[in-house]
Amino acid sequence: MADIRNYTLNLGPQHPAAHGVLRLILELDGEVIVRADPHIGLLHRATEKLAETRTWIQSLPYMDRLDYVSMMCNEHAYCLAIEKLLGIEVPERAQYIRVMFDEVTRLLNHQLNIGTHGLDIGAMAVCLYTFRDREELMDAYEAVSGARMHAAYYRPGGVYRDLPDRMPQYKVSKWKNEQVVRELNEDRQGSLLDYLEAFTERFGPRCDEYEDLLTDNRIWKQRTVGVGVVSPERALELGFTGPMLRGSGVEWDVRKKRPYAAYDRMDFDIPVGVNGDSYDRYLVRMEEMRQSNRIIKQCIDWLRKNPGPVISDNHKVVPPSREKMKSNMEELIHHFKLFSEGMNVPAGEAYAGIEHPKGEFGVYLVSDGANKPYRMKLRAPGFAHLSAMDEMARGHMIADAVTIIGTMDVVFGEIDR
């Protein structure tokens, strides 16, 4: 008599970024998934505990490293929570800069997700197109912060510095001749705003290129349509947010429902899905990129016309300018105190949630009045989504497990924090 017992298979430890951090244990009936058990703990960064031993500012670069493709969005939530505790106002220009870079970050995130998701399930070429465009946006990151990924650009009270008036230029080398350098520098003759404006003008047709490769591709549709279906009611019960929730047809976006920074002054739409499957979530992300492009254009237009300060003038929180520090003893004392001891945040607790590219990313902070957090708790969107892996994968084939992991857009830095 044949043995009809189910058998167990390790899928992993693996991760789209090859960090070896997700172990997925599949219970199978032939090639059909009966149960999917995601195991985490192979990465565990202890970010929340580390924050208790660092000053408020020293913990800010950790935010970049949580979800390392949504860097400035993570920083934004952390700064908003600190600003609630401090009760300080952020200059309007800084709010627009934050919104603009949040949307640049959303483009970076969705381009990586769509490119690598395609790679995971057999669409090889689209990754080359999305990464081509990511490089241009990472140049904007580098121009404003000095880093291509872990920017540490936002600060409680605003942003570190104003936007640069000129972009770095490529130079002729043994790898790049004069003609190539001239083409690369074509959009770099003006300011960062000029550079981003040129990007937004050509990004619409580039989105069309992504869709030409995927949207009506029969193999892509065979791998995603009807896979990982979640109803609107169940998506809410499971704690889904972001494209995972909107893909199921629920029109919820923190930028619209609980506006922060300058989002209440932005004109954009919330795309939603119909069927709640992996294909709908892909379509939602595609349309979100177009909406992000709209928002970036609006921010560029406003920032051109409205100069002003980009960080609070409260010197108990923000260092004084170098000029003030050298001419005023009180400012000098503030400077030394902030860089040696850090700022003291009034006792209390605060939660700030933002519309991160993957969903609602929240930071809950407790202060006892000291120069470092008493407690920090992060609300990572990917954690809730991964917890639904078992429910989404049951009844599907082994190959579909890869599709479902890709449609969740998981990054383990924030999940296994």
For the chain, give the percent of residues with pLDDT over 70.
Answer: 96
Mean pLDDT calculated for residue range 85-100: 96
Domain chopping of the chain, boundaries: 7-414
Q: Which of 189-198, 208-217, 323-332, 347-356 has the lowest mean pLDDT?
A: 323-332
C-alpha angle 175/176/182, rounded to 5°? 170
In angstroms, rounded to a whole number, what is the distance separating the alpha carbons of residues 281 and 233? 16
Residue ranges of alpha helices (H) inside 161-191 are 178-184
Helix (H/G/I), strand (E/B), else coil: 38: strand
Q: Which residues of 126-164 are buried (b: 16+ CB within 10 A; e: fewer)?
A: bbebbeebbebbbbbbebbbeeeebbbbbbbbbbeebbe
- The yes-or-no verdict on residue 329 having pLDDT over 80 is no
Q: What does the pLDDT look like over 174-232, one tens digit per residue?
A: 888 999 999 888 989 999 999 999 999 999 999 999 999 999 999 999 999 999 999 99
Q: CATH says 7-414 is which class?
A: mainly alpha
- pLDDT for 58: 93
Q: What does the pLDDT look like over 139-158, one tens digit per residue?
A: 999 999 999 999 999 999 99
What is each CA distance from 198 to 102, 202, 408, in whole angstroms? 18, 7, 31
Q: Which of 7-11, 121-125, 318-322, 363-367 has the lowest mean pLDDT?
A: 318-322
pTM, entire model: 0.94
Q: Which residue has the higher pLDDT, 240 or 16?
A: 240
Mean pLDDT calculated for residue range 277-304: 97
Q: Which residue has the higher pLDDT, 371 or 1?
A: 371
Q: Does the N-terminal peptide bond of residue 319 adopt cis geometry, omega within 30 degrees of 0?
A: no
For the chain, give the percent of residues with pLDDT over 90.
Answer: 77
Mean pLDDT calculated for residue range 60-67: 93
Mean pLDDT calculated for residue range 29-38: 93
In angstroms, rounded to a whole number, what is the distance separating the alpha carbons of residues 49 and 27? 34
What is each CA distance from 150 to 67, 132, 272, in whole angstroms? 10, 19, 31
- The yes-or-no verdict on residue 318 having pLDDT over 90 is no
- pLDDT for 16: 53
What is each CA distance from 12 to 15, 112, 119, in whole angstroms? 8, 21, 17
- The yes-or-no verdict on residue 14 having pLDDT over 70 is no
Could you tell me the two tokens for 63? 């935010």
- The yes-or-no verdict on residue 330 having pLDDT over 90 is no
Name, in order, each residue with C-beta under 8 angstroms of 232's C-beta and a sequence gap of 6 or more.
Answer: 248, 249, 250, 276
Q: Which residues of 272-303 are buried (b: 16+ CB within 10 A; e: fewer)?
A: bbebbbbbbbbbbbbbbbbbbbbbbbbbbebb
**pLDDT band (50, 70, 90) for residue 319:** confident
- pLDDT for 320: 75
228 close to 407: Cβ distance less than 8 angstroms: yes
**Beta pairing partners, 363:** 352, 378
